[in-house]
Amino acid sequence: MTDQATTIPKGWKMTTLGEVINIRNGKSRPDNGKQYPVYGGNGILGYADEYNIDEKIIIVGRVGAYCGSIFLEKEKIWLSDNALGVLAKEKSNIDFLYYLLKKINLNKQAIGGAQPLLTQCIINQIEALVPEREEEQRAIAAVLSSFDDKIELLREQNKTLEVIAQAIFKEWFVHFNFPNENGKPYKASGGKMIDSELGKIPEGWRVGGLGEEIETMLGGTPSTEKKEYWENGNIPWINSGKVNDFRIYEPTSYITEKALNESATKLMPKGTIVIAITGATLGQVSRLEIDSTGNQSVIGILPNDKFSSAYLFYWMLENVSTIINTATGGAQQHINKNDVNGFDFIVPPNDILKKYYEAVNPMVEKISNNCFQIQTLSKLRDTLLPKLMKGDVRIKGLRE
């Protein structure tokens, strides 16, 4: 029912979603192909050579863990049967509707417990405040999409920088084709290779245990039964799930100084490489963009004067699959700090590392800066979204 306390801005109306949208059901996923994305409740599931949607559409997760998830797609797609497709009716703007649905939070409208479900009927009956003029809807969507476009641009830039940096690492420290004194690739141009525990490596290089060259740190969880460890905390703390993030620039929670001093958790500096060591996140790797503590399912690999995070991060990405092959346990596989410390680690000469850092450090810093810019833009968009969607903030030149 309409909230009687709601103030309806001039030129807006309270209506139901069914008055402004059309909903389509998806169909069973076709055979695998290459041409058109297949969308489910959790995004793109794969690709097919058929499509059943050929216009701009909002994809809504219909059932299960991704019920209420929302994606906007403007290309031809196949909409699967665990998702619903939302289209704009006449005089409604599809981009505006996308942000409207994000504000409504459809997941909270779902029925069912362990297996939440959204139906066309449920969505159609949801009440919403919308501008009567499509022009104003477009203007609101344009403001919000400008934030999303910039965020997406920064994310794509980060992906590109990541690919380049990782390729340079692999070429230098896996294929050993770093530039020699003549600027030619070392191994490919006949540079001398010597035997080691890890096979052939360039002359002047050596192999040591990771724990002998680098400090590693196991996290811990302060007792959740002690309020003084968590209430009004200002020290970042992450769990292993956070290691799924591309980079970590926001914590899972905050702990207090007392918790840091009286528990097993330790403060890891910005630039620390973190690896998840158990369960579903086993083997996930990320980089701290902030000083943070972590739980007992996270190991930190701390950079030092010789090995910066620009080396350690890409080394870990290259070697993590081999490290987790040492995992033990049944249903809950895990590795421990000793497994990481005992792993053989190639140690290049300082002059090679210096040249590598000159090439890669600027990329690592650019990725970091982009992450914080994404964070700022996301917060601004999320602050502005409800204000624009309630008419509290109006677009200049569009007021009645």
pLDDT 10s digits, 88-128: 999 999 999 999 999 998 988 999 878 899 999 999 999 99
E strand spans, 141-212 = 193-194, 201-202, 206-209
Top-level class of domain 12-132: alpha beta
What angle, 0 to 180 degrees and rounded to 10, lies between the N-to-C axes of helices 309-324 and 350-389? 90
Strand partners, 48: 36
pTM: 0.87
The second-level CATH assignment, the architecture, of 206-347 is Alpha-Beta Complex (3.90)
**Could you read off the pLDDT of 126-174 as tens digits, one per residue?**
999 999 999 999 999 999 999 999 999 999 999 999 999 999 999 999 9
**Could you read off the pLDDT of 276-288 as tens digits, one per residue?**
999 889 999 999 9
Statement: residue 366 has pLDDT above 90 = yes
| Three-class DSSP category at 174 | coil
Confidence of residue 294 (pLDDT cuts 50, 70, 90): very high
* Enclosing H/E stretch for 23: strand 21-25
Give the residue carrying structure tokens 């030092």: 304
Q: Are 255 and 214 within 8 A, CB to CB? A: no
Contacts of residue 63, Cβ cutoff 8 Å, sequence gap at least 6: 41, 82, 115, 116, 117, 118
Statement: residue 397 has pLDDT above 70 = no
Q: Are 58 and 85 within 8 A, CB to CB? A: yes
Strand partners, 253: 237
Q: For 80, which DSSP code?
A: B
Give burial (CB, 10 Å; 0-12/13-18/19+) of 180.
middle
Statement: residue 400 has pLDDT above 60 = no
As a whole number, the mean pLDDT across the chain is: 93
Statement: residue 201 has pLDDT above 90 = yes
Statement: residue 4 has pLDDT above 60 = no
**Could you read off the pLDDT of 16-59 as tens digits, one per residue?**
999 999 999 999 999 889 999 999 999 999 999 999 999 999 99
Confidence of residue 1 (pLDDT cuts 50, 70, 90): very low
Statement: residue 324 has pLDDT above 90 = no
Confidence of residue 6 (pLDDT cuts 50, 70, 90): low
Question: Between residues 400 and 263, which one has the greater pLDDT?
Answer: 263
Confidence of residue 398 (pLDDT cuts 50, 70, 90): low
pLDDT at 331: 65
Statement: residue 179 has pLDDT above 50 = yes
Instruction: State the average pLDDT over residues 317-331.
Output: 81
Confidence of residue 399 (pLDDT cuts 50, 70, 90): low
Which among 313, 289, 294, 296 is positioned nearest to 366, based on CA atoms? 289
**Could you read off the pLDDT of 223-243 as tens digits, one per residue?**
999 999 999 999 999 999 999
Question: Between residues 115 and 383, which one has the greater pLDDT?
Answer: 383
Tokens describing residue 9: 């801005």
Instruction: State the average pLDDT over residues 346-355.
Output: 96
385: left (phi over 0), alpha (psi -120 to 50) or beta: alpha
CA distance 127 to 1: 7
pLDDT at 334: 86
Instruction: Please give the share of the chain, as a percent, with pLDDT higher than 70.
Output: 97
Question: Between residues 226 and 329, which one has the greater pLDDT?
Answer: 226
CA distance 392 to 152: 27
Tokens describing residue 262: 């009286």
Statement: residue 358 has pLDDT above 90 = yes
Which among 302, 303, 271, 276 is positioned nearest to 289, based on CA atoms? 271
Same CATH topology for 12-132 and 206-347: the answer is: yes
pLDDT at 3: 47
What angle, 0 to 180 degrees and rounded to 10, lies between the N-to-C axes of helices 134-173 and 309-324? 80
pLDDT at 150: 98
Q: Could you state, in order of their start, the residue ranges of all structural domains in the chain?
A: 12-132, 206-347
| Three-class DSSP category at 116 | coil
Statement: residue 178 has pLDDT above 60 = yes
pLDDT at 2: 43
Other Cβ atoms within 10 Å of 224 Cβ, number: 9
258-263 contacts, C-beta under 8 A, 24 or more apart = 258/228, 258/229, 259/222, 259/226, 259/228, 259/229, 259/230, 259/233, 259/235, 260/222, 260/235, 260/293, 262/222, 262/229, 263/220, 263/221, 263/222, 263/223, 263/229
Residues for the chain: how many in total?
Answer: 400
Statement: residue 5 has pLDDT above 80 = no
